Amino acid sequence: MAERYRCPVELTVDLLGGKWRTVILAYLKEGVHRYGELRRRLPGVSEKMLTQRLRELEADGLVARHDHHTVPPHVEYRLTDEGRSLAPVLQALYDWGTERAARSGTPIDDPVPRPDLR
């Protein structure tokens, strides 16, 4: 996210690479989420990493942050239009990953559980 690219593919992978980015985007694709919700749904993520990734996704224009400025704090994250435009890409990655997992016998722990919208 800083240098020059020789191929558009590099740019996309750069934006989606790393350990948590795509999973966060997958969750936000389902709807608006608060910081604490995301943290609970990403087992193993540290607060530092989650905050860092969210800030990066925000800087990249893929995620929008809404601070309600209340006490106690209430901050929501959602996809921007740009973030939503990634849907076909995420879908292609999802489909190929699913087939690959089946072919190779790699287990997938939990296929992106939905947030329970109540």
Partner DNA sequence: CAGTATCCGCGGAGATACTG
Partner DNA sequence: CAGTATCTCCGCGGATACTG
The entry of a second copy, DNA, none that residue 93 binds, CB within 5 to 8 Å by partner kind: a second copy
Residue 62: name the closest of 35, 84, 29 by CA: 84
Residue 30 DSSP class = T
Residue 42: name the closest of 113, 116, 118 by CA: 113
**C-alpha to C-alpha distance for 42 and 72, rounded to whole angstroms:** 22
The entry of DNA, a second copy, none that residue 12 binds, CB within 5 to 8 Å by partner kind: a second copy
Nearest CB to a second copy, comparing residues 43 and 72: 43
Residue 44 DSSP class = T
The entry of DNA, a second copy, none that residue 109 binds, CB within 5 to 8 Å by partner kind: a second copy
Residues that bind DNA (CB under 7 A): 18-19, 34-37, 44-49, 51, 54-55, 65, 67, 72-75
